[in-house]
Amino acid sequence: MSSERLIYLPLGGAGEIGMNCYVYGYGAPNAERLIVVDLGVTFPDMDTTPGVDLIFADISWLEARRDRIEAIFITHAHEDHVGAIGHLWGRLRAPVHARAFTAHHARRKMEEQGQDPAKVETASAWPETVQAGPFTVGFLPVSHSIPESSALVIDTPAGRVIHTGDFKIDMAPGVGEPFDRDLWASVAQSGVKALVCDSTNVFSPHEGRSESTLGPEITRFVAEQTGMVVATTFASNVARVKTLAEAGQAAGRSVCLLGRAMRRMIEASVETGVLSDFPSTVTPEEARDIPRESLMLLVTGSQGERRAASAQLARGKYLGLSMDEGDTFLFSSKTIPGNERGVIAIMNQFSEQGVDVQDDDDGRYHVSGHANRPDLEAMHQLVKPQIVVPMHGEHRHLREHVKLAESLGRTGVLAPNGTCVALGGNAPEVVEFVETGRTYLDGRVQIGALDGVVRDRIRMALNGHAMVTLVMDEDDSPLGDPWVDLKGLPERTADGAALSEVLEADLAQLLARAGDKTLTDDDKLDEALRRRTRQVCDTEIGRKPEVTVVVSRLS
Amino acid sequence: MSSERLIYLPLGGAGEIGMNCYVYGYGAPNAERLIVVDLGVTFPDMDTTPGVDLIFADISWLEARRDRIEAIFITHAHEDHVGAIGHLWGRLRAPVHARAFTAHHARRKMEEQGQDPAKVETASAWPETVQAGPFTVGFLPVSHSIPESSALVIDTPAGRVIHTGDFKIDMAPGVGEPFDRDLWASVAQSGVKALVCDSTNVFSPHEGRSESTLGPEITRFVAEQTGMVVATTFASNVARVKTLAEAGQAAGRSVCLLGRAMRRMIEASVETGVLSDFPSTVTPEEARDIPRESLMLLVTGSQGERRAASAQLARGKYLGLSMDEGDTFLFSSKTIPGNERGVIAIMNQFSEQGVDVQDDDDGRYHVSGHANRPDLEAMHQLVKPQIVVPMHGEHRHLREHVKLAESLGRTGVLAPNGTCVALGGNAPEVVEFVETGRTYLDGRVQIGALDGVVRDRIRMALNGHAMVTLVMDEDDSPLGDPWVDLKGLPERTADGAALSEVLEADLAQLLARAGDKTLTDDDKLDEALRRRTRQVCDTEIGRKPEVTVVVSRLS
């Protein structure tokens, strides 16, 4: 048996849908040469990460082995695959490879974070390959909901791995390459050690539908409307944006793109050659002078994001444009779990404006970009890998995908984030569990998920914050009474008294009775004041706040 | 035309699904005698109401007219209809009427808040009625997802109003009265002025299914399982709990109820006579000794609530019971929009335990308790009201329901919270807009939604909190340097320096350069320190925190 090994290690994306970051290694144990696949983000929420701007996989493990990293490969330009490249590249500093459209986005992200965009090299599609140490890597076109998505064909001395990236099996994706079954079969023909495979839609029982099935429905829908039509979808779904724009054009409407991401994606698509025949558009300024029945807006914000064009239109005017009674808003998108409240909020705001809202209506106006269960089966059968490693899914998706693989006679391995699996032998072997986690981009600072910063924010949000200030004189006696400031706490107690006054009186009493042991010891004094503040609040308002005590000693 | 009028005024529930509170009045304008229908709660969330315990409709309008309130009627025992009775009754103090099962819950809620449970009177079903000033009110049985739900037949000198409460049309609801079409037709026969009607499922296009359709599916599912089966549903859905228990019994399993709400509901159902033949159950202590393949647990927490039995089992042990590889967890429930994250979290925790999770699978294991669109049409056709007033829905539901009513030839009126509608004339007339809002139960204190308390909590959660403390001597000079405490902010700047030290040095400089005008004026000094703290943080960490400045002056 060879002393070298092929390892797979997910640092993000296996145990969640988001912040994809996968590592492959080949070489002597603990001296493997490494490649990284994808550096994505996930998005914060108020429940668990208030105030956080973006979330990345914790790449400490990689950073500590930076000298062993040969290259970084990006499969496609979705934020959960490329979004962290600018923020994390400085900690890894390896060359980045991606196909043209993806590279275009990666370069912009590098520039925005002050990194050198020339570190991103444009790769050609399979059968061309990139050499990266012991790895030979090819970009194998695959259909998804963004142009130029690619699986990676990763050849190693221990065999061939196919990393699907995000994919669906779509023979007519509208923009970008159709799924090429023959090409995939030819890649698989020589034998595939492992298929590392998208798991997102493993619970969706029906065969996925093609992007091209939406055109007629959307065209009919837009043609039927009499007022202004405003449609939203994921800006990166260039095929959909094109379908929507063509539906507008077919109905004799001028088309206007609203929202930076929407314009940027279309521009990038034209610039990189993936899109050649997009209908002509008008600017927002021009749109203002066009009768509403002759206008169609394509806007960002399908997930109800507060700052996106959709939400701004829901609240009122955006760039001088606004919706009105008789207009129609179309969600050509599905709501990602967790975003329901935001989406429902803008639906109701539109309702208040008298605007009719059409959602995806169980698939008439939206199809998923991921392979459903039968499509996953088809992929397994097509590639015939020895091992199936489910990725890109929550734990329940990975587990179900393993079951699916095994029901088809393959060896599946459940490998959530941090599970280092050796793929080279006859069966996969878990060789190590690596500590993984999340890094928060907080303003301009990267902080660890366990640093306590966000925990304190959540506590202040749930409990409120009481600040107790006290000045002690040179003889360690209180100079005046303690002072209490409250933030996020009711002003009045259940009995109607002023809470800060009740607290101040009670803390003054506590100090009057306190001995020198307490008064001379900052920690004891802090603890006594904090504990009493929490007790009094519990009695008076039924809540124990966070407490900060500041004692200033004159000396 | 009469100088007296019949008015309808929703204070909660029309513009949201939750915190139902509707007012009817009859009499001379602004001297109407009033009745209240339902006093419900809605539940807080981290996005908009962190730390809040419960949310009620703001009843200030009613409280100011307390002497005109004849009675309070509760349609059924769901929390969004009866949950606020104990908290708000003291501000209204009118007699409460409800049928036995509902009254049972209302009395407990009164007691829990220190109110007299005897204020709740048990009403009989239609054709018996309760006289309340100019109103004669009957409880008309209707099918829903909790026993003894009732519509209200409200007779007034200006005509008959039917307030549906929550309802579905179910001829075999399992527990409680089937929908009695003949009875409803007889009530409608003499003519109905207005149908005030549940709108929850107006967007659901297919006829609703009966609770009784679930029995065979659930029974088959439970019979197929080989490990322990744990099932959750809404505790108040007594019919479902019974169906689940019977499925367990049929499969030869001992049944154990876990979670206070679950046991309480079944006990109340037996006690009030709505449930007579519930399978025998075992206690959690007994359950521990029963082989897992012979056990079925029915647990609270279908919405992923953190403290419920389901979430506790997902995290590990609950009352000595735990799940294991090969066990099955069944959601006989749907996830209410907004609760997806919590539900998905426990699904993944079960997956990590090797537990198979079955969700409602598009309706095999759950049916809704509300009338779908065709059922709403059937209700309109059955009652044939002059006016349809949609209630119990978000704005978009109410608007769609008005459209539906008008498509059937009725007069619909869109009346979100605060819209006072006169129903007596030939057409409904909006006579006033009343200011409405929300009251938060925060610990033991009721606070207004606009009091700023929750706003401050959200700001601290999003921005962090910096506290600046400064002691000024008798001559209005700083005594030492200002002191900065940080909470919910990164310790280190983007450049790696200690943020509090950077701030303290900068603020000390500011003070050194400040003139007497600033140093002698608390407001100016506060403002200068706050603004500078925000500027420095913006520069150093890319974030402007909340700032509290405390200046202590020695005098």
Contacts of A479 in chain B (CB under 8 A): 554
CA distance A268 to chain B (A): 29
Q: Which two tokens stand for residue A360?
A: 């995806």
Q: What is the pLDDT of residue A468?
A: 98
Cis ω on the peptide bond leading into residue B95 (within 30° of 0)? no
8-state DSSP, A290: S
CA distance B293 to chain A (A): 22
Q: Does B457 touch chain A (CB under 8 A)?
A: yes
Per-residue pLDDT of B117-130, as tens digits, reads 999 999 999 999 99
* Closest-CA residue to B405 (of B195, B166, B158, B155): B195
Q: Which of B43, B45, B46, B547 to mutate to test the interface with A (most CBs of A within 10 A)?
A: B46
Measured at the alpha carbon of residue B395, what is the angle toward residues B394 and B401, in degrees to the nearest 5? 90
Q: Do A457 and B480 touch (CB under 8 A)?
A: no
Q: Do B471 and A471 touch (CB under 8 A)?
A: yes
Measured CA to CA, the distance from residue A513 to residue A484 in angstroms comes to 19
Non-local (6+) Cβ contacts of B233 within 8 A are B240, B241, B244, B298, B302, B331, B332, B333, B366
User: CA-based diameter of chain B, in Å?
Assistant: 88
Tell me which residues of chain A, numbers 38 to 77, contact chain B at a CB-CB cutoff of 8 Å.
45-47, 50-51
Q: Which two tokens stand for residue A213?
A: 């099935």
Which residue do the tokens 């094109």 mark? A242
Q: Is A330 within 8 Å of A287 (Cβ atoms)? A: no
Tell me which residues of chain B, numbers 321 to 360, contact chain A at a CB-CB cutoff of 8 Å.
337-338, 340-341, 344, 347-348, 350-352, 354, 357
Q: Which of B200, B343, B348 to mutate to test the interface with A (most CBs of A within 10 A)?
A: B348
- The domains found in chain B, sorted by start residue, are 5-206+368-448 (3.60.15.10), 212-358 (3.40.50.10710), 464-553 (3.10.20.580)
CA distance A391 to chain B (A): 15
Q: Does A545 touch chain B (CB under 8 A)?
A: no
Q: Do A347 and B396 touch (CB under 8 A)?
A: yes
Q: Which residue of A has its CA nearest to B337?
A: A340
Nearest to A467 among B350, B490, B548 (CB): B548
* Closest-CA residue to A448 (of A57, A168, A86, A138): A57
Q: Which residue of B has its CA nearest to A447?
A: B490
Q: Does B442 touch chain A (CB under 8 A)?
A: yes
Binned at pLDDT 50, 70 and 90, residue B13 comes out as very high
What is the percent of chain B where pLDDT is above 70?
100
CA distance A135 to chain B (A): 33
Q: Does B361 touch chain A (CB under 8 A)?
A: no
pLDDT of residue B544 exceeding 80, the answer is yes
Q: Which residue of B has its CA nearest to A415?
A: B352
Global pTM value: 0.96
Q: Do A543 and B443 touch (CB under 8 A)?
A: yes
What is the full per-residue pLDDT of chain A (555 aa) written as tens digits? 468 999 999 999 999 999 999 999 999 999 999 999 999 999 999 999 999 999 999 999 999 999 999 999 999 999 999 999 999 999 999 999 999 999 999 999 999 999 999 999 999 999 999 999 999 999 999 999 999 999 999 999 999 999 999 999 999 999 989 999 999 999 999 999 999 999 999 999 999 999 999 999 999 999 999 999 999 999 999 999 999 999 999 999 999 999 999 999 999 999 999 998 999 999 999 999 999 999 999 999 999 999 999 999 999 999 999 999 999 999 999 999 999 999 999 999 999 999 999 999 889 999 999 999 999 999 999 999 999 999 999 999 999 999 999 999 999 999 999 999 999 988 999 999 999 999 999 999 999 999 999 999 999 999 999 999 999 998 999 998 999 999 999 999 999 999 999 999 999 999 999 999 999 999 999 999 999 999 999 999 999 999 999 999 987
Q: Do A487 and B548 touch (CB under 8 A)?
A: yes
pLDDT of residue B2 exceeding 70, the answer is no
CA distance B503 to chain A (A): 16
Kindly state the average pLDDT of the residues B86-101: 98
pLDDT of residue B1 exceeding 80, the answer is no
8-state DSSP, A14: B
Q: Do B445 and A480 touch (CB under 8 A)?
A: no
Contacts of A338 in chain B (CB under 8 A): 340-341, 344
Q: What is the ipTM of this complex?
A: 0.95
Q: Which residue of A has its CA nearest to B470?
A: A552
How is A299-342 classified by DSSP, letter by letter? ES-TT--TTSHHHHHHHS-BTTB---TT-EEEE-S-PPTT-HHH
Q: Do A461 and B464 touch (CB under 8 A)?
A: no
Q: Do B543 and A487 touch (CB under 8 A)?
A: no
Q: Which residue of A has its CA nearest to B342?
A: A338
Q: Do A443 and B541 touch (CB under 8 A)?
A: yes
